Every structure is written in C-alpha cells, then in structure tokens.
Amino acid sequence: MPDAPSAALLLSAVLFSIGTFGVLTRRGAITILMSIELMLNAGNLALISVSRSLPGGGADGQVLALFVLAIAAAEAAVGLGLVIALFRLKGSIDIDLARLLRW
Amino acid sequence: MIPLALLGAMTSLQTIVLGLIALVAIIAALGVVLHRNPVVQGLFLVLNLLAIAGLYALLGAYFFAVIQVLVYAGAVMVLIIFVIMLLNLQPAARGGSGLTPVFFAFVLGLALVSLLVRAGRSFAPPEAALAEGFGSVAQMGSSLFMGYFYPFEVISLALVAAMAGAILFAKRDLEG
Amino acid sequence: MLPYLILIPLAPLTGFLLVGLLGSMGLIDDRWSHRIAVSASALACILSIGVAVDFSGGLDDCQTLVAASPDAYELVLGDENEAARFEVTYWEWLPLGEVSLRGWDEHHTRLANLNVGWTFSVDALTIIMLLVVSFVGTLIHIYSIGYMAGEAGYYRFFCYLNLFMTMMLTLVLGGNLLVMFVGWEGVGLCSYLLIGFYYDQVFDKESGLTCADAGRKAFITNRIGDFGFLLGGLLLIVTFGSVDFSEIAGMINASSAFWYGTPLLTGIGILLFVGATGKSAQVPLYVWLPDAMAGPTPVSALIHAATMVTAGVYMLARMSALFWHAPGAMFVVAVVGCLTAVFAATMGMAQYDIKKVLAYSTVSQLGFMFLGAGVGAFVAAIFHLMTHAFFKACLFLGSGSVIARAGHSNDMRLYGGLKKWMPITFATYLVATLAITGLPLLSGFMSKDEILARSLFSTRGFFWLWVFGVIGAVMTSFYMFRSVWMTFLGENRSPEKVRENLKESPRTMTWVLVILATGAAFLGLLGIPGGVSNLVGLGDINWLEHHLHPVVAARGVVAMASHGHATEAGLAEHGPAVSEHGDVAAEHGAVGSEPGNVAAGHEGVRAGHQAEDVLREGLSVHPTMGQEWALFFLAAGVFALGLLLAFWSYGNNAARAKALEPKLTYVRRLLYRKWFVDEIYDALVLKPFWGLSRFFAGFDQRVVDGAVNFSAAATELTGQVMKLFQTGVVRHYAVWLLSGAVFLIWIMTK
C-alpha cells in the first residue's frame, strides 16, 4: 500500500510527462515556458519526497530543490526576456517563427 | 487512472487529502498544457503550484511549502502573467500544431510516464520516522550556509547573470 | 698566426655575408662587391701564409698557448709515430656524450665518447691545401673582376665565390670527418649555385640542357656519391667510436696487424671512395663535370679544376692510415683512377668546346691523382693536385680570356690563329699546356711521372696500371696540343664581326694568367722526384716528400711496405716489430678468449697470418739507375708522341686534316658523343627512375590522395546526412532531447 512519498513520486512522474507533452505540442513561447516550469516542479516534488526517506535528516533534497527553484526563477526571467525580444521582432510569440538557425 | 487506483486503496484522512491534492495538481497541469488562453493557462499554473505547495506541507517540508507559495506562485507567476498582459496575447488559434507533434508527444509522454512510474515503484523508501526538524527553517539554513555554501554563492551569481541577460534581451535599444 | 686559425674561413664568410646582404639590398655597386670579396679572399690567403710560416717555424711557440687551455688545444710536435699537428676545438658542436656503439659483432660493443667538437687541425697536408686554395682562389677572384665585368648578378657571383672559399677552407681545415663533411657539402652547394649562375640560359643546344639543369645534374650526381660518403662515415663511427682523423689513425696504427685487410676497413675505404668519385668526378659519376662547364669560366677554373674536385684526393690522403690498412680499397681506387684517366682522355680528344676539352682533361688528371693515391703514392697525388691546380686554372682562365674576346663562343672550330691578337694569353696557355703534357722539368712532368713510376714500382701498383697510365698521358699530350693548334695557331676561322673586335684581355686578367703560368712552370721544383734528381747527381732534394711524408706515411706493421726499400737488413730490423705485432694479435686473441669466445681467438690467429702477409709486402722492387733513365726518356717520349700526333692531324697541313676526317668519322662521333655514356645513363638509370617516380606519383595520387579524399568525402557525406537534423525548429530538437532522455532512463532502469 503506497504511502505519501511514493504517491508524490508517482505524481511527479505524471506531472513531468504532462509538462513534456506541453513542450512538444504547443507553439506559444509562454506556454512552453510554463510547461517547463511544470516539469521543474515535478522534479522538485520528486526531490522533496525522496529526501524525506534519506538518512541524514533529509536536508539535501530540500537544498537541491531550492537551487532548482532559483534556477527556475532565473530561467523564467531570461526566457521571458527572450519572449519579449521575439515578440518585438516577429509580432508574435510563435516559436516556429524563430527557425533561421538551420542548414 | 493511477490516482483513482490509488484512491481506492487509501483509507485514512491523510490519504484522501493527498488524493485530492494530486487530482487538483493533475487537472491544473492539464489545464496549463491544453488551454488556449494564456491568461487562463497562467492561472492554472498558479493552481498547480499551490497544490504542490500543499503536497510539500503534507510531506512535512513546511519551509519549502512557504517558499513555493512566495517565490513560485507569487513572484515568478506574477512575472509571467505580467508579460502575458504586457504582450496582450490572444488565445492560440484552433488546430494548433497538427497531428504529428501530438503523436510524438503522446508516445514520448507515455513512454516517459511508464518508465518513471516503474522507476518510482522500484524505489522502496525505508519506513523510518521523520527526522527531527525536517523541513524547518533552522535545518535549511544550517544546510545552506554550511554544507552548501559555495553552490549557494554560485547560484546567486547565476541569478545576477540571468538578470543581466534578461535586461539585455528585453531592452529595446542598447545604445539608449 | 696559428691561434687565429678560425679567421681563415671567417674572412670569406664575412665577405659572403657583406656582399650578399648589401648587394641584394642594392646598397653597394659592382666595384664595392669585388673590393670586399677580393680583400676577404686575400685576407684568407695572407692568414694562410702566416699559418704556414708559423707551422714551419716549429710549434714550440704554441706550447704556452696549449698549456693555458689544454682542453681546447692539442699539439703534437711530431715523431716517428705521428706527424706534427696543431689542433683547436672551438666549441662543443655535437655533444653526444657517452654513446654505446655496436661493433661488427656483439663482442665489440663498447662505450665511446662521441663529443664531436668544431675542430680545426693543421698539419703539413693542411698547409699545402690551404696555400693552394687560398692563393689560387684569390687570383681567380681578381681575374673575375675583368671577366665578369658588366654581367647581371655581379655581386651574386662574388658572394657565392666567397661562400665557396669559406666552405673549401672549412673542408681543408676540418679536424674531424663531420667538420670536413660540412665543408664537403658546402662546396657542393656553391658548385650547384655557380654552375646554374646563368640559370636562364641554354647550355647545350644539342640536348637542350639549360644551365640550371647542369647545376641540378651536378648536385644530384654528387648526392649519389655523398650517400656513399655518409655510409662510410657512419661505418667509421660505429667501428671506431670517433670521427677525429688523428684518433682514428692512431687506433688503426696502434693495432695494425689486427686491422690490416679486414673487410670492415675495406668497406669503409670503398664507401668513402664512392664519395670521392662523386665530388672528384671519377668513373662512373664523372658525368656532371663536363656539364658543369655551364658555369662562368672562373668558376670552372676554381671549383671544377683547381680546388673542389680535388677534395676527394685530399680526403683520401687525410684517411691514408685507413687506406694503407685496406689494400682492397686501395686497389679499387687505383683501378678506378686509371680507368678514369684513360676513359676521360679519349673523350677529351674529340670535343670541339674548348671548356669541355679542359673538363675531360680535368677528369683525366683527377684519375691520375687517384691512381697515385691508390698505389700508395699519396705525396705524389697531392703534388699532382697542387701542380694541376696551377696549370689547369691557368688553362681555364686562358680559355676564359679567349671566350670573352671571341664573341662568347666556346667552339674551337671558330677560333684559330688567335696568338696574333692575344699574345699573353697564348704564351701562358702554351706554358700551362707544356706543363700538363709533361715537358721534362716542368711541373706536370714531375708530378705525373712520379705517379706513373710509383704505379709501376710500388707494392700496391702493377704493370697494367702503368701501361694504361702511359696511354692516358699520350692522349693528354695529344688533346692539349690539339686545343693549342685549333685555338691559337693556323688560320683564323672566326666570323668577320668577331675578328674585328679581337684583342688582348684587360690587365687584371692577364697578370693573373702570368702568375699562374709561372707557378705551372716552376712549382714542380718543390717535389723533384728522387729518381730524377738522382740522375743528375743532386741526391734526394724532394722538399714536398720530406714535408708531407710524415702525414701520409704508412705506419704500424705495413710501415716497411711504404718505402719499398725493404732490404734484408730492413727485414731483420723490422723482424722484432712484426713479432711484436704478432704479440698484439695474440693479445687480441686473449682478450677475445676471456669471455670464452672462440671466434675472437680465431681472429687473433688470422691477425697473426696477416702479419706474415705484411712482411711479404715489404719485399718491393726499387728501380735501378737504368730503369730510372728509361722512365725519364719514356716520359719525354710520351710528351713528344702526343705533340707529333697533334701536329700531324691539326698542324700546318689543313688538307691532311680534311682528308683524315671521313676515315675517323665513326671513332670521332663515338668520342664526340662521349661513348654515349649520357645516353646509357639515361636509358639505364634515368628512364627507370622516371618510371618508378611516375609509378609512385600515381600511387600517391590515387592511393594516398584517395585515402585522404575518401575520408574527406565520408566526412562530408556524414555532414550532409546529419545536417537534415538541424531543422531550426526548436520543437524537433526537444523531441530528440527527450528521446535521448527516455532512452537513457530505459537503459538505467532496465
């Protein structure tokens, strides 16, 4: 019978896959960005739930999750900057429009 | 399907709360991914983040739950929604991106979820009592500023760099 | 002057750098070019004379110098076993340190101290060469001022000439094989540069050979010889663990009976001689020298007659200790020399190009020198080298004087009767001709007939060598007088325009000719052969023999063979020496048997047997008074016979010459085309070589380049395929990324 951490792990797997689905199917840059946030959160959830059962008080997982959170904030800032730049350039945030860098 | 199956097996109040929160998180996540209006997507994401914060609290990581609400559901999401508003984005057109990407995404997503679930299943956590002070501010603080001092500083550097980068990208005219 | 030895090659080196750098930058005009070059060469000459004076004044003065820094200097005052010598090591050149050398079998592996220094060594032989090279070199520098006047690349000519002097003096002064090799290759380089001096002109209209081709031919032919030289040198290093001439000679002489006639020494000797055949134009590598006449005439005189081509003879004399102990190698040298002397002379008889006549004559005379060296008459060979330097330089410069005035044509058929216009050139040319052909008491007579006599009477000589040598001498006489007749006597056959401008050459050229002709006439007095002086009751007044003999004398067991004077008393006297060497041999045996080696013991026995052979060598024939007279008259007869033959065919009777022409057509054609040797080499060596080269070129282009091109094509193809993945659509990249992630998770959780 699954307890709380195992259920959280399973949930994190489901959320991660949903985020993946979003990244792969959507064309709006902000939607993709939000899907990535979903995926990062799923990762965080896994870290926290696993760290609970680890020896040593379980602080490690939380600290790592904190780092992920910081990086996610940074990524959101840079990503949104890019989105604004893209919008300014193309008048749209459709990611498929930014495809100049090819063979 | 999996949360439903889990639900049937659970009895205590905690399990019921857990199932509800998971349900909300999944529905919110699907809302983020599937809804066509960016503003609604953003609100769904907030819901999702809050649900996960609840889950953190349920897992005993109270401090992190607070951080999640403050930083993620608060600051980051405000930024995202601010940008959505700023750009005055319209709902995406129907039909979106065609069938091929959806097919690939479906296959990959299913593969991913089945693999991760299998991996999670094989992970059998020892039934140990929760360590004392787990999720407290004191534990996090001593851990961050002692064991993880240098990575912490590096992360702050990364944040500064990201800030500079964001300004650089978003600025209309560098010379001005 | 001995302490300032290094200045001798340094002076022309400075001249080379100054003239070359300033000239190419256009900072000095022609006058300053030759002023610098001539004074550099003259300085070398003065220093050489100073060194010679110092050296002949005894080396006692150098004692303090040597005592001050015993590491750098080495002084040998000269005694029974070693000639007087002064050696300076300027710097550690190749400090290889202790090197383990594997000998010809595993029992002779040993450590050798191979710290090769930049060593200059002076002994009697060096002095002679120094004087000849620097004196003749300076004269030719001066002559070139007049000859090269107004030519394009005037400074270039003088700068090369100075570089040549540097290299030749280095070659002569070198105290070890490697320093000598630097000079050896350096003179080869200068030879190449100067043969191709008129690199944009065609030299031989019949074969279309350009001057640049001639230079290449010389250089490449020399490479073949130098390959042998290098092999010989390496074998020498492996065998003796040293490159120092005196050390090697010391080692050989010290255990003479052991070394005598070993295949190893013979091999080294023959390999070194292969190098000499290249540089000194002997059969079969002589073919470059006639074509080397593409260079300006002073170059032909200096490099291709007087100095560089004699380097081979000098090297043999330097290595005389080795050659004395390698009778097989000496036999090869003598036979090749004799063959060359005759063979080249035949070709010289039919040439119309005056410079080619002289070129073949040079090859032939070099053959005589090697004949001398091969029969052990090293002194006579060096003597001939010396006299040849003078008369041949004089002949070349005389021909240059004629060529410059006769409309720059080398063809003797367009000369004739030139003595009317060019009396000084004619007189000097005639004197030099009389010297080379051997008019009794002139220098060529002394040196050449000494070589011929020794080829008959030396223990290393034999009858047929002498016979062919005499035939070669007759031909020498013939072709030289032929050239005199065709050029200076009879009717003038020049075109009208040329005849109008005929006049004597300028004074810078003529007085050089006069000096050289004087030398050609009287230099022979330095080395009057013992036989000749005995005839007139003067006793032994051979200065050169006394001077040079200690350097090239055979030492060790074979010592008695060198003089050919071994009487019974001599035998008795040498008896103990021989048995002593027998002991040495036995000692070797003992040394060999210590590690329980039977082979080494056998070696000792073999060495003992050789000591007996050596003893037998001591029984040599010494010419009697009657034989001496016979030789004298024979030599005079040889001279006269050639003269008469030339007179009969080219003298006053033009009609007879005409009538003779058709009868000799085939022979003449054969000789004129040089026995078709160039054609034979072309067919036997060049064509197959070209074929091989083409094969390898094809191999290179198809297989080697193919492999390279294939890898390039494969890379490109991979790129062409892989680039399809770079669509520019971010989502596609995400798909690949996630596929990879899924794959990795699958692998890790399997």
Chain C contact for A4, CB < 8 A? Answer: no
Q: What is the reported pLDDT for C278? A: 93
% of chain B exceeding 90 in pLDDT: 26
Q: What confidence category does residue B125 fall into, taking pLDDT thresholds of 50, 70 and 90?
A: low
Percent of chain C surpassing pLDDT 70: 88
**How far apart are the C-alpha atoms of A82 and C367, rounded to whole Å?**
91
When the candidates are 1.10.287.3510, 3.40.50.970, 1.10.10.60, 1.10.10.10, the CATH number that belongs to A6-101 is 1.10.287.3510
pLDDT digits (tens, 9 = 90+) for C210-261: 899 999 999 999 999 999 999 999 988 888 888 999 989 988 888 877 888 8
Question: With an 8 Å Cβ cutoff, is A89 touching chain B?
Answer: no
Q: Which residue has the tokens 């004619």?
A: C426
Q: What is the number of other CB atoms lying within 10 angstroms of the CB of residue C54?
A: 20
C724 neighbourhood in chain A, CB within 8 Å: 103
The answer to whether B105 contacts A24, with C-beta atoms less than 8 Å apart, is yes
Nearest-Cα residue of chain A relative to residue C726: A102
Of residues C731, C738, C749, nearest to B119 (C-beta)? C749
Residue C312 in tokens? 């081979």
**CB-CB neighbors (< 8 A) of A96 in chain C:** 729, 731
- CA C397/CA C299 separation, integer angstroms: 10
Percentage helix, strand, coil for chain B under 3-state DSSP, each rounded to 5: 75, 0, 25
Q: Which of C724, C729, C738 sits opposite A99 (nearest CB)?
A: C729
Q: Is B147 helix (H, G, I), strand (E, B) or coil?
A: helix
Q: Min CA distance, A101 vs chain B (Å)? A: 18
d(CA C278, CA C297): 21
Q: For the beta carbon of residue B146, count every other beta carbon within 10 angstroms.
A: 9
Token readout for B91 is: 């709902």
Number of Cβ within a 10 Å radius of residue B138: 9
* Region C507-521 average pLDDT: 91
User: Mean pLDDT throughout C412-418?
Assistant: 84
Min distance C725 CA to chain B CA atoms (Å): 16
Cα(C637)–Cα(C442) distance, integer angstroms: 15
With CB atoms and an 8 Å threshold, state whether B105 touches A21. Answer: yes
C48: pLDDT strictly greater than 50? yes
pLDDT confidence bin for C492, thresholds 50/70/90: confident
- Angle at the Cα of B59 (from B54 to B65), degrees rounded to 5? 45
Q: What's the whole-number mean pLDDT along residues C391-405?
A: 92
Report which residue type is found at C366: L
Q: Does residue C735 belong to the interface with chain B, where contact is any CB pair within 8 Å?
A: yes
Lowest-confidence range among B47-56, C221-230, C527-536? C527-536
Q: In this structure, what token pair is assigned to residue C209? A: 């050979």
Note the pLDDT of residue B123: 66
Does C734 touch chain B if contact means CB atoms closer than 8 Å? no
Q: Where are the domains of chain B?
A: 1-123, 131-176
CB contact under 8 A, B166 and A24: no
Instruction: Decide: C261 and C328 in contact? Cβ < 8 Å.
Output: yes
* H/E stretch holding C670: helix C665-672
pLDDT digits (tens, 9 = 90+) for C52-70: 998 888 777 778 778 888 8
Q: Given an 8 Å threshold on Cβ–Cβ distance, is B112 in contact with A70? A: no
Q: Could you give the CA distance from residue C404 to residue C297 in angstroms, rounded to a whole number? A: 9
Mean pLDDT of C183-208: 89
Measure the CA–CA gap between B173 and C273, rounded to whole angstroms: 84
Decide if C729 and A96 are in contact by the 8 Å CB cutoff.
yes
Residue A18, chain B, CB below 8 Å: the answer is yes
A window 41-70, beta carbon within 8 A of B: 41, 44-45, 48-50, 52-53, 56-60, 62-63, 65-67, 69-70
Inter-chain residue contact C731 with A98, CB threshold 8 Å: no
| CB contact (8 A) between residue C728 and residue A99 | yes
pLDDT band at C585 (very low <50, low <70, confident <90, very high): very low
- The answer to whether residues C387 and C524 touch, using CB atoms and an 8 Å cutoff, is yes
Query: Which of B160-174, C369-383, C532-546 holds the top average pLDDT?
Result: C369-383
User: Among A12-21, C100-109, C525-534, which is the least confidently predicted range?
Assistant: C100-109
Whether B122 has a pLDDT exceeding 90, the answer reads no
CB contact under 8 A, B115 and C735: no
Query: Chain C: nearest CA to A13, how far in angstroms?
Result: 12
User: Taking 60 as the threshold, does the pLDDT of residue C286 lie above it?
Assistant: yes
Residue A1: per-residue pLDDT = 37
Strands (E) in C59-210, as ranges, are 73-76, 85-101, 110-122, 202-204, 209-210
Rounded to an integer, what is the distance from CA A5 to the centroid of its chain? 20
Interface test with B, best of A24, A54, A89 (most B CBs within 10 A): A24
Q: Which of B18-22, C494-498, C653-657 has the lowest mean pLDDT?
A: C653-657
Size of interface B-C (CB pairs under 8 A): 22
SS (H, E, C) C614-675: HHHHCCCCCCCHHHHHHHHHHHHHHHHHHHHHHHHHHCCCHHHHHHHHHHCHHHHHHHHCHH
Contact at CB, B32 and A31, closer than 8 angstroms: yes
Provide φ and ψ at A28, rounded to 5°.
-70, 130
Q: Give the closest of B3, B9, B41 to A1, CB-based.
A: B9
pLDDT for the residue C76: 85
C76: left (phi over 0), alpha (psi -120 to 50) or beta: beta
pLDDT for residue C96 is more than 90: no
Q: Which fold has domain B1-123?
A: Four Helix Bundle (Hemerythrin (Met), subunit A) (1.20.120)
Report the residue of chain C nearest B121, measured CA to CA. Answer: C749
Asked if C273 and C333 count as a contact pair (C-beta separation under 8 A), the reply is yes
Residue C601 pLDDT grade (very low, low, confident, very high; cuts 50, 70, 90): very low
Tell me what pLDDT residue C279 has.
94
Among B103, B104, B110, B123, the residue to mutate for chain C (most C Cβ within 10 A): B104
Residue from B115, B117, B121 to probe the interface with C (highest C Cβ count within 10 Å): B115
Per residue in C436-454, pLDDT (tens digit) is: 998 888 898 889 988 998 8
Are B115 and C741 in contact (CB < 8 Å)?
no
Confidence of residue C418 (pLDDT cuts 50, 70, 90): confident
How many residues can be counted in chain C? 750
Q: Which of A2, A5, A80 sits opposite B59 (nearest CB)?
A: A5
**pLDDT value of position C203:** 85
Q: Is the pLDDT of residue C137 over 50?
A: yes
Band of pLDDT at residue C698, cut at 50, 70 and 90: very high
Which pLDDT band holds residue C596 (cuts at 50, 70, 90)? very low
Q: Does B174 touch chain A (CB under 8 A)?
A: no
Query: How big is chain A, counted in residues?
Result: 103
C527 pLDDT more than 60: yes
Q: Which residues of B touch C (CB under 8 A)?
A: 97, 101, 104, 108, 111-112, 115-116, 118-119, 122
Q: Can you give the pLDDT at residue C662? A: 62
**pLDDT > 70 fraction of chain B, expressed in percent and rounded:** 81
The predicted structure's pLDDT at residue C107: 64
B57–A contact, CB cutoff 8 A: no
C705 pLDDT higher than 90: yes
Q: Which chains touch B (3 or more CB pairs under 8 A)?
A: A, C
Chain B, window 86-145: residues with a beta carbon less than 8 angstroms from a chain A beta carbon: 86-87, 89, 92, 96-97, 101-102, 104-106, 108-110, 112-113, 116-117, 119-121, 123, 125-128, 130-135, 139-140, 142-144
Per domain, the residue ranges of chain A are 6-101
Chain C residue closest in CA terms to A25? C731
Structure confidence at residue C72 (pLDDT)? 82
Query: H-helix or E-strand containing C584?
Result: helix C568-593
Q: What is the mean pLDDT of chain C?
A: 84
Q: Given this model, what pLDDT does residue C168 score?
A: 96
The amino acid occupying position B144 is L
Query: Both tokens of residue C254?
Result: 């010290």
Q: Which pLDDT score is estimated for C104?
A: 58
From A20, A23, A100, residue closest to C728, measured CB to CB: A100
Is the Cβ pair C749, B115 closer than 8 Å? Answer: yes
User: What does the pLDDT average to over C194-203?
Assistant: 89
CA–CA dist C729, C731 (Å, integer) = 5
As a three-state string, the secondary structure of C518-547 is HHHHHHHHHHCCHHHHHHCCCCCCCHHHHH
CA distance C701 to chain A (A): 33
Mean pLDDT of C455-482: 90
